[in-house]
Amino acid sequence: MRKPIIAGNWKMYKTRDEALFFILKVSDGVPSIKDVDSVICAQAPLMRCLIKRQGDNLRIGAQNMHYADEGAFTGEVSGPMLKSYNVDYVIIGHSERRAMFYETDEIVNKKIVAALRNDLIPIVCIGEHLEERENGSTNAILHSQIMKGFVNIDAKDMKKIIIAYEPIWAIGTGKTATADLADETCGYIRSVIGEVYGADVAEAIRIQYGGSVNPGNIDELLSKANIDGVLIGGASLNPDHFIYMTNAAMKRLK
Ligand code: 13P
């Protein structure tokens, strides 16, 4: 049984006071880490304030990192810096970073290697554009992102990685993929992992769906066999919604 993982991606939202208000409100409301991994991925300036108050059940993640451990890279954050703040997770290859900050699959791969080297759990985002979905090339795109993004990652490390399937046309648009479509596509991703790494890795790896997830659609998404959790943008900014959505994962256990 794969432990569900519910992660919020705050993107470039929330000031320190807003983050403080959020964490004080949700800390006691998220389920036990024994049952569900609940994560907030925030911007670097908010880390200290969140980490100090994260409690046992809510873990903190970053939204990006550089692949070098240190160096003259103005404005970048390294794996050892995140680790020194007790950060557990890092989102890598979000479609916004691929589109706006020119991250290629090769860069994504270097960042995954750097995250693992620093004992951070990578949440690796893959997904297709609307025209790719419409012209039937979704599987080919995902296959290519997997083959290039996970070069030189061995089976042992693959089991630690979380893959977030985020169709780009569903992000911030209010257009969620139907639960069946999301499940089918996460199933395809799992089958590719199985072909490359074997059945035990495919069985172990956790795959999230992301794209306009909210309290109204999360239950159906999480009821699907291949969806082990969700990566939530906008709806994760609201503390009550976040509490509801982390607890929704408890129903999946039953
Ligand atoms: P929304 O939930 O706002 O569509 O964002 C999804 C996302 O990009 C999470 O990483």
Whose CA is closest to atom 2 on ligand 1?
Answer: 233
What's the CA angle centered on 49, arms 48 and 54, to 5 degrees?
A: 95
Average per-residue pLDDT for the chain = 96
Active site residues: 94, 166
CATH homologous superfamily of 5-253 equals: Aldolase class I (3.20.20.70)
Q: Tell me how far the alpha carbon of residue 11 lies from the centroid of ligand 1, in angstroms.
A: 9
- Provide φ and ψ at 75, rounded to 5°: 90, -5
pLDDT above 80 (res 252): no
> At a CB cut-off of 8 Å and minimum separation 6, what does 164 contact?
7, 91, 123, 124, 125, 126, 207, 208, 209, 210, 231
Helix axes 179-197, 138-149, angle to 10 degrees: 40
- Which pLDDT tens digit goes with each residue over 147-198? 999 999 999 999 999 999 999 999 988 888 899 999 999 999 999 999 999 9
192 lines ligand 1 (CB under 6 A): no
Q: Which residues pair with 210 in a beta bridge?
A: 231
Q: Tell me how far the alpha carbon of residue 222 lies from the centroid of ligand 1, in angstroms.
A: 16
171 lines ligand 1 (CB under 6 A): yes
What is the domain partition of the chain in residue ranges?
5-253
193 lines ligand 1 (CB under 6 A): no
Going through 17-161 in order, the beta strands assigned E by DSSP cover 37-42, 58-62, 89-92, 121-126
- Which pLDDT tens digit goes with each residue over 112-141? 999 999 999 999 999 999 999 999 999 999
254 burial (CB, 10 Å; 0-12 / 13-18 / 19+) is exposed
pLDDT above 80 (res 91): yes
Q: Tell me how far the alpha carbon of residue 113 lies from the centroid of ligand 1, in angstroms.
A: 24
What's the pLDDT at 254? 60
pLDDT above 90 (res 11): yes
Mean pLDDT within 227-235: 98
